[in-house]
């Protein structure tokens, strides 16, 4: 982390694997503030509806929304795609979207875009509700893993193509409570 010798980087055990500290809470907070600043500027007067993708984005969303300085609303959906540390490639909606999206300027709030498969699925599902516009705000983005074509409008931090936990993101349900982000030790 940030040029420290490997022996000094804190390691946590999550379930049955070791993860080493890769993004500290200060860097997280400043990336969240920066994203919120851009959104507050771009959506001035538009009453955006933030659509938070559960479970992973809950912590990012809670921090982001408190830094948004314009009138806005919040709603939630839930997708399922991962088990363990590998993408299953299948996406399902587990918590419904509804008509409140019609005519609204929707901002999808995600924890991480990896291959981009889940987000593509959600973008397609959203069309049925006729939003006025849809943009994506993801806290983390893995450009080397992304295999899709669509634009990602707001990115907090770009990261290498490695499996991470913390700040809402889990490994088999564990590690969401960590305030910093940790990378799987190979
Ligand atoms: P995608 O469909 O873009 O490949 O993956 C999207 C979802 O997979 C994310 O919303 C997140 O839940 C999960 N995911 C992708 N990469 C990681 C990772 O490095 N760590 C964790 N914990 N989840 C990830
Ligand atoms: Mg997610």
Helix (H, G, I), strand (E, B) or coil at 52: strand
What is the distance in A from the centroid of ligand 2 to the CA of 4? Answer: 29
Using 50, 70 and 90 to split pLDDT, how confident is the model at 96?
confident
Largest alpha-carbon pair distance within the chain? Answer: 53
φ, ψ dihedrals at 43, nearest 5°: -105, 15
Q: How far apart are CA 58 and CA 50, in angstroms?
A: 12
Global confidence as pTM: 0.93
State the Cα–Cα distance between residues 88 and 81, nearest whole angstrom: 6
- Can you give the pLDDT at residue 75? 94
Of 75-84, 136-145, 161-170, the poorest mean pLDDT is in: 75-84
Categorize the per-residue pLDDT at 92 as very low, low, confident or very high, splitting at 50, 70 and 90: confident
Write the residue with the smallest CA distance to atom 20 of ligand 1: 164
Residue 5, pLDDT > 90, answer no
With a cut of 70, say whether residue 40 has pLDDT above it: yes
Closest-CA residue, ligand 1 atom 9, reads: 112
CA of 113 to the centre of ligand 1 (A): 6
Mean pLDDT of 164-179: 97
Task: Based on the residue annotation, tell me whether 114 is a catalytic residue of this protein.
Answer: yes
């Amino acid at each position: 982390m940030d040029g420290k010798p490997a022996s000094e980087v804190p390691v946590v055990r999550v379930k049955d694997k070791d993860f080493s500290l890769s993004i500290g809470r200060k860097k997280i907070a400043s990336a969240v503030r920066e994203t919120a600043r851009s959104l507050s500027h771009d959506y001035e007067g538009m009453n955006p509806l933030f659509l938070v993708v559960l479970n992973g984005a809950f912590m990012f969303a809670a921090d982001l929304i408190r830094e948004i300085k314009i009138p806005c609303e919040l709603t939630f959906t839930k997708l399922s795609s991962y088990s363990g540390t590998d993408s299953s490639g299948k996406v399902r909606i587990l918590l419904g979207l509804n008509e409140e999206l019609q005519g609204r300027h929707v901002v999808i709030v995600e924890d991480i875009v990896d291959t981009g498969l889940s987000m593509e699925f959600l973008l397609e599902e959203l069309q049925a509700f006729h939003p006025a516009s849809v943009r994506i705000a993801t806290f983390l983005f893995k450009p080397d893993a992304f295999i899709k074509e669509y634009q990602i409008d707001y990115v907090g931090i770009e990261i290498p193509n490695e499996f991470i936990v913390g700040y809402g993101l889990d490994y088999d349900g564990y590690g969401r409570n960590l305030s910093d982000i940790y990378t799987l030790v190979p």
